[in-house]
Amino acid sequence: MAFKNYILVCAGTGCESDGALKINEEFKTQLEELGLDGEAQLVKTGCFGFCAQGPIVKILPDETFYVMVKPEDVKEIIEEHIIKGRPVERLLYDKEQKTIKSGVEEIDFYQKQFRIVLRNCGLINPASIDEYIAREGYGALEKVLFEMTPDDVITELEKSGLRGRGGAGFPTFRKWMFSKGVESDQKYIVCNADEGDPGAYMDRSTLEGDPHSVLEAMTIAGCTVGADTGYIYIRAEYPLAIERLENAIEQATEYGLLGENILGTDFSFTIELRLGAGAFVCGEETALLTSIEGNRGMPTTRPPFPAVKGLWGKPTVINNVETWANVPVIILKGGDWFGNIGTETSKGTKVFALTGKIKNSGLIEVPMGTTLREIIYDIGGGIPNGKKFKAAQTGGPSGGVITADYLDTPIDYQTLADLGSIMGSGGLIVMDEDDCIVDVAKFYLDFTVDESCGKCSPCRIGGRTLYNLVDNLTKGLGAEEDFDKMLELSKAMKTASLCGLGQTASNPVVSTLKYFKDEYMAHLAGTCPAGKCKDLVNYSIIADNCVGCTACARRCPVQAITGVIKGVHVIDQTKCIKCGQCVAACKFKAVLVG
């Protein structure tokens, strides 16, 4: 049935938390009441990526892009746009409040993106296998089953230059080749969907918006290496992604694309879900496999590597969600096509969760080699409130910072490694001049210490000791010799820790010490330039600036500020908890932080 209009409503976790489900229900109700449900089809899609502007509603075929939509806006959209053919201008994306923008191709946020992994997110109903098939879905699996040999598949992966998108960037074709070459009565395919980096939601959004792409890729891998069973390990706190995966597995099985004798061939393959409890260490592949086996998620020594001896001691190909989502496109378009995107050593695209002090936060996908400046200023819209860019943290707790001096450096595996960071799974957190770099390092250390499995002493003891040294600095208790201790500890942890968590846990400290030694020295001298470390700052009121408006006193949660209307106020230092609410409340810059 052909429809005059298609109404796409973002139904990813982010937009759902902002009321997208109510928006969808309101559209459904209004269309039925007006008798328009036969003229306009309502579609719940995955994430559009432009999270800062959600909830998003897109109208096809004219590509009208509505942002920050509320349930009460639905009636107006239907009456003006669907019935009268006039866009609701106040809901259009309006760059700098100067010109009306509608179609996605006109929006700066999307112009430098190149979507491969996110090709279907925001375009199809992820609950419909038919819509996935209409976008060439399962065409790659058909090609592999009827036109290619396993060696052909591995050759295309090698040509593509695809590297693992979950951390270290190991060449994907090698994993598959190793597993294929091992004689075994049983082999496994595993998807690592245990996304645990703070601020990261790339894999979750991919599974919510395009679950079949991962199922298809895993099935292709099974056919290539000789495996008949696959597992998707996903944390239980991703209920929407789990729901859509379960639905996709059921649909693919019903269509003969999973299960016994796929598409009438003698190849059979099944996929099951395994729910994780949210332990960050289970993002490490050997710990993940141990968890699937029903044991406590703790890493094991390598070699042997999982590709040779993995799940239940059998050859296992394990990749993360983003890596899998690239595979069907590579098979359909060829390894050479994919290899022409990106840089010489880093092919293809990379998905980032762009968060922090940035105007246009969201999910982006850019060619490898895109500069940090392009990501932050052209796509992200720059730093809010006229603040200066300070640094960007890549690679999450295992990564490091990129400073303003390297804004024009192409982002790829080698460049980040040279700068003392890593690509990681794709979290990219932007910091401005108000962020304390020592406090940031402390935050990440606190996270990794808490998430350590405790199996090996370099991580268990070294991480805690390193945290204590940084914590002492934020409390005015540090000593100059502590800097050498930090570097020595970091080297020991990198060398002797059992898994990647311990080996990289010190990266934030090493990286920030390298680029912000002056800020560390300021803390050693007893001051926090950003005013974030509570033990090193005091709040006081400048008498000449205070007009006695009482705004600070009314905002103070512990009644530490006293004074009369139109009189100078004072802060009781014995009561002050240094929460900063007085600074936020004062419009006259009367509160001094120092």
User: In this structure, what token pair is assigned to residue 114?
Assistant: 């190149």
- Is residue 533 assigned to a domain? no
CATH code for position 406: 3.10.20.600
264 and 333 fall within a common domain = yes
Structure confidence at residue 98 (pLDDT): 37
- Do 285 and 393 lie in a common domain? no
Would residue 118 count as lying in a domain? no
Do 325 and 443 sit in the same domain of this protein? no
DSSP 8-state symbol, 375: I
Sequence-ordered list of residues with C-beta below 8 angstroms from that of 150, at least 6 positions apart, any chain? 180, 223, 224, 225, 226
Provide CB contacts within 8 A for 131, sequence distance 6+.
124, 125
Could you give the angle at the alpha carbon of 350 between the alpha carbons of 349 and 351, nearest 5°? 130
Element (H, E) at 402: strand 400-403
Domain membership flag for residue 532: no
Instruction: Return d(Cα 275, Cα 194) in angstroms, integer.
Output: 9
Q: Residue 183, class by beta-carbon neighbours within 10 Å (0-12 exposed, 13-18 middle, 19+ buried)?
A: exposed
For 425, the token pair is 């799974």
| Kind and range of the H or E run holding 130 | helix 129-134
305 DSSP 8-state letter: P
**Nearest Cα to Cα of residue 364 among 107, 160, 578:** 107
Looking at 387, 411, 432, the residue that finishes a domain is: 432
Residue carrying the six token digits 């995107």: 341
In the chain, which residues have pLDDT < 50? 95-101
Dihedral angle of Cα 446, 447, 449, 451, to the nearest 10 degrees: 160
Rg of the chain's alpha carbons, rounded to an integer? Answer: 26
Q: How many CA atoms lie within 13 A of 185 on its CB side?
A: 1
Residue 516 has, within 13 A of its CA and on its CB side, a CA count of 29
Could you tell me if 315 and 393 lie in one domain?
no
What's the Cα-to-Cα distance from 97 to each of 94, 101, 234, rounded to whole Å? 5, 10, 41
| Among 494, 452, 451, 499, CA closest to 299 | 499
- State the DSSP H helix or E strand holding residue 439, giving kind and residue range, or none if neither: helix 437-451
CA-based nearest residue to 105, from 68, 135, 63:
63
Q: Does a structural domain hold residue 255?
A: yes
Q: 369 with 250, same domain?
A: no
Last residue of a domain, one of 432, 457, 492: 432
Per-residue burial over 10-37, b if 16 or more Cβ lie within 10 Å, else e, is bbbbbbbebebbebbebbeebbeeeebe
For residues 399 and 486, state if they share a domain: no
Same domain, 500 and 548: no
Question: Nearest to residue 273, comparing CAs of 328, 236, 227, 302?
Answer: 236
Closest CA to 214 of 181, 168, 257, 173: 257
What's the rounded Cα separation, in Å, for the pair 168 and 417? 10
Q: What is the pLDDT of residue 350?
A: 95
CB-count burial class (<10 Å; 0-12, 13-18, 19+) for 544: exposed
User: Cα(218)–Cα(271) distance, rounded to whole angstroms?
Assistant: 8
| Domain match, 409 and 492 both | no
Question: CA dist 568 to 269, 292, 571, 588, Å?
Answer: 75, 64, 10, 13
Can you read off the two tokens belonging to residue 232?
A: 């998707």
Query: Residues with Cβ < 8 Å from 473, sequence gap 6 or more?
Result: 438, 482, 520, 523, 524
Q: Give the total number of structural domains in the chain.
A: 5
Query: Looking at residue 474, which CATH number applies to its domain?
Result: 1.20.1440.230
Exposure of 358 by Cβ count < 10 A (0-12 exposed, 13-18 middle, 19+ buried)? buried
Task: Tell me: do 83 and 188 sit in the same domain.
Answer: no
3-class SS of residue 410: strand
Which range of residues forms the domain containing residue 500?
437-524
Instruction: State whether 555 and 470 are in the same domain.
Output: no
User: Does 311 lie in the same domain as 209?
Assistant: yes
Whether residue 508 has a cis bond before it, omega within 30° of 0: no
175/322 same-domain check: yes
Give the DSSP per-residue string, 43-93. Answer: EEE---S-GGG-S-EEEETTTEEE-S--GGGHHHIIIIIIIT----GGGB-
Does 116 map to a domain?
A: no
Task: Give kind and range of the element (H or E) at residue 222.
Answer: helix 211-225
Q: Give the count of beta carbons closer than 10 Å to the beta carbon of residue 352.
A: 26
Please give the C-alpha separations between residue 501 and each of 276, 303, 310, 443, in angstroms, as whole numbers.
17, 17, 19, 15
Out of 316, 338, 360, a domain closes at: 338
Question: How far is residue 205's CA from residue 211's CA, in Å, rounded to a whole number?
Answer: 9
CA atoms within 13 A on the CB side of 328: 28
Which residue is listed with tokens 């944390």?
235
The CATH number of whichever domain residue 20 belongs to comes to 3.40.30.10
CB 424 within 8 A of CB 399: yes
| CA atoms in the 13 A half-sphere facing the CB of 555 | 16
Contact call for residues 417 and 453 (beta carbons, < 8 A) = no
Establish if 329 belongs to a structural domain.
yes
CATH no. for residue 559? 3.30.70.20
User: Comparing C-alpha atoms, which of 411, 322, 356, 366 is closest to residue 199?
Assistant: 356
Does residue 117 fall inside a structural domain? no
